[in-house]
Amino acid sequence: CGRVPRGSWSSDSSGSSGPREPRYRVVLLGDPGVGKTSLVNLFAGVQERELLEQHGEAAYERTLTVDGEETTLLVLDIWEPEQRGEESRRRSRCLQVGNAYVIVYSITDRGSFESASELRIQLRRARQAEDIPIILVGNKTDLVRCREVSVEEGRACAAVFDCKFIETSAALQHNVAELFEGVVRQIRLRRGGKES
Ligand code: GDP
């Protein structure tokens, strides 16, 4: 614990002792194989990832400068598939700890899209009274010929579930920075709303 490296997106300078900006926990949800780890790898940077994995961690912290303001995200890649008969305490905890959620499906896997809807419902149930930022992510857009879920379906689902929507390709590094910037903006919108 405590070994949280800075990424190259960070503009922290060591030794500065200014006021610490708040840190927000972002939890990635979604079926196995949809690309959660690949997305978080891009967020973390490969070197940081390797360093943390040696210490058995799956949390990646970076400070992003978005619209001229710094925000630190701690991204947790801790979601595990449901095991038969397994008690779901760990999963319930995942649904409790996030300040924001990224629900990922693969555009090449309709089952993962349906799971994403179920996850949204579980999250709503677990955090009933809260207005938590949720981003629905259709990943693997590079696999054009294998697409099973259209952009329109993704967008419509996000509208129904009252979340933001973006399509990404971790393989092509397309829209991945935009995804995490979007998370920061959604967090700030809520923060502003609560204060007013
Ligand atoms: P996770 O189980 O959700 O964490 O998924 P992973 O990140 O481990 O990815 C599962 C597989 O999908 C791996 O073989 C990845 O290389 C691949 N993958 C992830 N994202 C993409 C993508 O955007 N495009 C393509 N073509 N493959 C991807």
Of 52, 69, 55, nearest in space to 6 by CA: 52
Question: Cβ(49) to ligand 1 under 6 A?
Answer: no
Nearest atom, ligand 1, residue 139 CA: 23
Nearest atom, ligand 1, residue 140 CA: 23
Nearest atom, ligand 1, residue 104 CA: 3
Nearest atom, ligand 1, residue 32 CA: 2
List, for residues 16-60, the tens digit of each pLDDT value.
445 566 789 999 999 999 999 999 999 987 666 666 666 666 888
Question: Cβ(143) to ligand 1 under 6 A?
Answer: yes
* Helix boundaries (H) for 35-160: 36-44, 46-54, 89-97, 110-126, 151-160
Integer angstrom CA distances of residue 118 from 44, 66, 115, 147: 27, 31, 5, 20
Say what the pLDDT of residue 63 is.
92
Question: Cβ(32) to ligand 1 under 6 A?
Answer: yes
Say what the pLDDT of residue 28 is.
97
Gap from CA of 139 to ligand 1 centroid (Å): 8
Of 68, 81, 96, nearest in space to 31 by CA: 81
Decide: 178 and 160 in contact? Cβ < 8 Å: no
Tokens of 9: 């997106």
Element (H, E) at 78: none
- With cut-offs at 50, 70 and 90, classify the pLDDT of residue 116: very high
Gap from CA of 77 to ligand 1 centroid (Å): 13
Query: What is the greatest pairwise CA distance in the chain?
Result: 51
Decide: 42 and 173 in contact? Cβ < 8 Å: yes
DSSP 8-state secondary structure symbol assigned to residue 145 = G
> Once rounded to an integer, what is the mean pLDDT over residues 114-142?
95
- With cut-offs at 50, 70 and 90, classify the pLDDT of residue 192: low
DSSP 8-state secondary structure symbol assigned to residue 72 = E
- With cut-offs at 50, 70 and 90, classify the pLDDT of residue 150: very high
Question: Cβ(81) to ligand 1 under 6 A?
Answer: no
Find all residues with CB under 8 Å of 3, minimum gap 6, and list them: 51, 52, 55, 57
Instruction: Respond yes or no on whether ipTM tops 0.95.
Output: yes
Decide: 139 and 34 in contact? Cβ < 8 Å: yes
Probe target for ligand 1 pocket from 38, 53, 94, with the most ligand atoms within 8 Å of CB: 38
Task: Write phi, then psi, for 21 (nearest 5 degrees).
Answer: -75, 155
Gap from CA of 193 to ligand 1 centroid (Å): 35
- Arithmetic mean of pLDDT over the chain: 85
Question: Cβ(115) to ligand 1 under 6 A?
Answer: no
Provide the whole-model pTM: 0.86
Question: Cβ(36) to ligand 1 under 6 A?
Answer: yes
